[in-house]
Structure 1
Amino acid sequence: MELKPADIVSSITKEEFINNYYKTQKPLLIKGFARQWEAGEKWNFDYIKEKAGEQIVPLYDSKPADANKSTSEPVVKMKFKEYINHIQSTPSDLRIFFYIITDRLPELLHNFTYPDLGMKFFKRLPTLFFGGSEAKVLMHYDVDLGDFIHVHFEGNKRILLFDQKQSPFLYKVPLSVHTIYEVDYENPDYEKFPALKYAQGYEIFMEHGDALYIPGAFWHFNRYLDAGFSLSLRALPTKPLQFVNMLYHVFVMRYTDKLMRKLLKKKWVDFKQYWAYKRTHKKLKAHLLKQTA
């Protein structure tokens, strides 16, 4: 894979952001972004344990979902404070996925300020994501195709980003928003997955308080290098074609896949993986022929 860093700034005006990143759909890392929040010092594990420690939270690991179970079924559940203590003291791949602040911890809404960058945020869904030092999130893009600001806290995180033009090289699974499960984006096997060599993307390292702008429909792979958590602030698609594409993803593609998974279980999952492998190599062959023509 050919990876390059995203642009990095310590501050940016709304006009600069809109013209240079939002309109061009280009990632941007804003260092120390959360330090400007009046309550920025509250974004840590101790505050979460104090305010929500007794809540029972569902936990997920880094393995692909069992084909015979619902994709939303957690590996285990435990008290929030016990989970945080666990990932702080022990290497772990356990994650909390899509913790909706407005439903579970609404007082946190007073501890940050939506960035004035020209994005129309969907304020119903500010969400938190937690992970231990061995946690990773498989390569995927979000089904709602929305742009979002991703703010990280407590430790370091590595993120890989690819735009949709790179899909032919990433082994995209049909009727899904993820790639083949077997692909290891930390140690790519170019013999088994040769198309990966031609993928061009971004590699970003985040520290406490950093904010990353991720354009809509960008592929992203997340790896927690230390125990930490992140806040995502989403903006839904506004252009007509993007909105229609979002509706297709959410209401047609996703439910078709769920139905087939329910009916065929592992056979459907295995078929899609095989289909992705064959289709990618067919596109790779066409790409190489075009280069040599």
Structure 2
Amino acid sequence: MVDSIEQIFKLLPRFEDIEELLQNEAEARYILKRAADYFQNSHLNGEEEEISYLVRGLVDKTWERIHSGHFSSVPVTVRKIYALACYFKIFFLLLEDPSLEQIELCGSVLDEAQLLGCTDKLYGKANELKEALMMYLDKDAIKFTRDPLPILAPVERRIADCDVPQLDAPSITEFRTKCYEKLQPTLLLNTINHWPALTKWRDLNYLLKVAGNRTVPIEIGSNYASDEWSQQLVKLRDFLYRQFGQGDGDQEIEYLAQHELFAQIPALKADICVPDYCTGTASNEADVDIKAWLGPRHTISPMHYDPKHNLLCQVFGSKSIILASCADTENLYPHESEFLNNTSQIDAAEPDFERFPLLKGVRFYKLLLQPGDCLYLPPKWWHYVRSETASFSVSFWWE
């Protein structure tokens, strides 16, 4: 365990570790070389203030480049430079002032590096640096004295109708032939019972301890297709207290939805594992996208489809799900806007056949997803999801 900032200095990249990345970025190359040399050469005398100023300027300039257009069009190199600059900025901030308030600020910079930057395959020791920084900053971060969060009771399993096939812990071969190759939505039972998450995550104090200091994107409003919906970056601890604490019950519904939480917080990823059904049909595990879905009762994902294979795994709580075949796409009234063209205008729970008459020809499939269950969804199958209780789901997407 790394417990001093001097030990963490050693995990910063040498210039030769990042030189190739910076070939066509002259300004970033100059600044990050000076920053790397500074920490590799026992803090060169008299240069700290100047290099710190340059690094902060690089963070600001790359932030502007990231926000100058659509996020998906930002070159990965720019996002990697942003992440590197953020890492060096953190160390200069700590050298300048190691107070608790400054440590809290450094935690926010670390989150920015992960949420906006690209830390994947940054350099050899990048993951070690990220985990060591997270542990160091969190152990001394400002803590708020609040009442403990609840430990959620197990949801008692219900007998419920299921309009799709069910398989009890199928083998990879059975999954491939009956589900994957036939593009058949299927409820898979007893396949993730070995996950520590099934018991550990119901204790919301565990989530608070492991991840509470991280900044995460939160959806505000129960349904992302509504006009009142918005997004906000917040500390996970604040989200947990607002949605699961002992409040007055009048707070607006918030949803941590479709977030790569496990790349941001490796300690949580240790509580799950990528199901063999994904890795047995994907080219390799690195091609599987893992998303987190955490929220209170009544969060809704409106009827929509995803372009990839999807295995939706229920850790705690239960969700009502309504499906429709990709063959019915033209009858499901997709939104015309580019942002929502994979989302239907209908309310699948209460379809309006007068307003949307083509729905009369659509066959809907209903099921209840309960703790320990996994739902296989083929690409472009439509699905509506509503949380019946406080809920944590993990989805695995692959091609």
TM-score, normalization by structure 2: 0.52
Q: Does the 8 Å CA contact 1:171/1:179 hold for their aligned counterparts? A: yes
**Deviation for aligned residue 1:217:** 1.4
> Cα offset for 1:4?
6.1
Contact 2:331 2:359 in 1 (8 A): yes
Do structure 1's residue 8 and structure 2's residue 166 form an aligned pair?
yes
**Shift in CA distance, 102/78, structure 1 to aligned 2, threshold 3 Å:** closer
Q: Tell whether 2:293 aligns with 1:147.
A: no
Residues 1:225 and 1:40: Cα distance change in structure 2 (over 3 Å): closer
2:234 aligned to which of 78, 81, 88? 78
How many percent of aligned residue pairs carry the same amino acid? Answer: 24
Whether the 8 Å contact between 1:102 and 1:124 is mirrored in structure 2 is no
1:284 aligned partner? none
Q: Which whole-Å CA distance do the structure 1 matches of 2:168 and 2:241 have between them?
A: 32
Number of residue pairs the alignment of both structures matches: 225
In structure 1, C-alpha distance between the alignment counterparts of 2:384 and 2:344, rounded to whole Å: 10
Match of 2:332 in 1: 170
1:228 Cα shift? 0.8
Change (3 A) 1:215 1:94: same
Partner of 1:206: 369
Q: Which amino acid aligns with 2:343?
A: H
After TM superposition, the structure 1 = structure 2 runs for residues 88-167 of structure 1, keeping only pairs within 5 Å, are 88=244, 90=249, 93-117=253-277, 118-120=280-282, 121-123=285-287, 125-142=289-306, 145-167=307-329
Q: How far apart are the structure 2 equivalents of 1:222 and 1:133?
A: 12
> What does the per-residue CA deviation read over 1:144-190, in whole Å, with 9 as the maximum and x for residues that have no partner?
x110211112211011122210112211224511112xx22111121
Q: For residues 244-288 of structure 1, what are the alpha-carbon distances to aligned partners after superposition, in whole Å with 9 as ceiling and x for unaligned?
A: xxxxxxxxxxxxxxxxxxxxxxxxxxxxxxxxxxxxxxxxxxxxx
Deviation at 1:38, TM superposition (A): 5.5
User: Cα RMSD (Å) of the superposition?
Assistant: 2.5
* Alignment partner of 1:191 is 2:354: yes
- Amino acid aligned to 1:78: V
- Is 1:24 aligned with 2:186? no
1:64 to 216, 220, 225: 225
State the distance in 2 between where 1:88 and 1:213 align.
29
Task: Give the equivalent residue in structure 2 for 1:231.
Answer: 394
User: Which residue of 380, 386, 398 corresponds with 1:217?
Assistant: 380
**Structure 1 CA distance for aligned equivalents of residues 391 and 205 of structure 2:** 12
Q: Name the CA distance, whole Å, in 2 between partners of 1:123 and 1:83.
A: 30
Q: Which amino acid aligns with 1:5?
A: D
User: How far has the Cα of 1:137 moved from its partner?
Assistant: 0.9
Take 2:291 and 2:198, find their aligned partners in 1: how far apart are those partners? 16
Cα distance, 1:20 vs structure 2? 0.8
Which structure has the highest strand share of the two?
A: 1
Rounded Cα–Cα distance in structure 2 between residues aligned with 1:198 and 1:224: 27
Structure 2: unaligned runs, 5 residues or longer: 1-160
Q: Deviations over 1:60-95 (max 9, x none)?
A: 12153659xxx9x51x44331232233335475321
Q: Please, which moves more after superposition, 110-119 or 207-216?
A: 110-119
**CA, structure 1 residues 4+152, in 2 after alignment: closer, same or farther (shift >3 Å)?**
closer
Which structure is higher in RCO with an 8 Å CA cutoff and minimum separation 6? Answer: 1
The whole-number CA distance in structure 1 between the counterparts of 2:205 and 2:296 is 15
Return closer, same or farther for 1:4/1:168 CA change in 2, 3 Å cut-off.
Answer: farther
Residue type matched to 2:347 in 1? Answer: D
